[in-house]
Amino acid sequence: MISLEDCIALCGLTRDEVLALAEHEHIPDIAAAALGQYLLNQPTGCSAIHAMIVDALRWARERGDLRHAEELAATLKHFIGSHPGVDDQRLAH
C-alpha cells in the first residue's frame, strides 16, 4: 500500500506545501499531493500553487492565526526558493 509520505515524496512538493494545498482546496492531503504533482507539470502550475499558498496565508492572518500564518510564510518562502520560475509565471499572466 502506498502511504501519504510516499505520495508526498513522489509529487515534487514538501509536506508543508501539500498541506497548504489541502487547506486551500479543502481536500484530503493525499488528493492535494496528486493535485500538486499535476500542477507542477503544467505551464502555469507553479504560479497556481504560489497563489494557493498566498491565499491560505492571507486567510490565516485574517482570522488572527498568526502562528499558522508564520508557518505558511515559511512554506511560501521555501516554495519560491525551490521553484524560481514562479515569479516569471506570475508576471506572464
Q: What percent of the chain has pLDDT over 90?
A: 75
> Which band of pLDDT confidence, cut at 50, 70 and 90, is reported for residue 53?
very high
Contact predicate 79/53, CB 8 Å: yes
Q: What distance in Å separates the CA atoms of residue 23 and residue 77, rounded to the nearest whole number? A: 17
What does R_g of the chain's alpha carbons equal in angstroms? Answer: 13
Look up the pTM and report it. 0.87
State the amino acid at position 89 in one-letter form.
Q
Q: Is pLDDT larger for residue 14 or for residue 83? A: 14
Q: How many residues does the chain have?
A: 93
Contact predicate 46/12, CB 8 Å: no
What is the pLDDT, as a whole number, of residue 93?
A: 43
83 closest CA partner among 38, 46, 49: 46
**All cell numbers assigned to 35:** 493535485
Q: What distance in Å separates the CA atoms of residue 19 and residue 27, rounded to the nearest whole number? A: 10
> Which band of pLDDT confidence, cut at 50, 70 and 90, is reported for residue 1?
confident
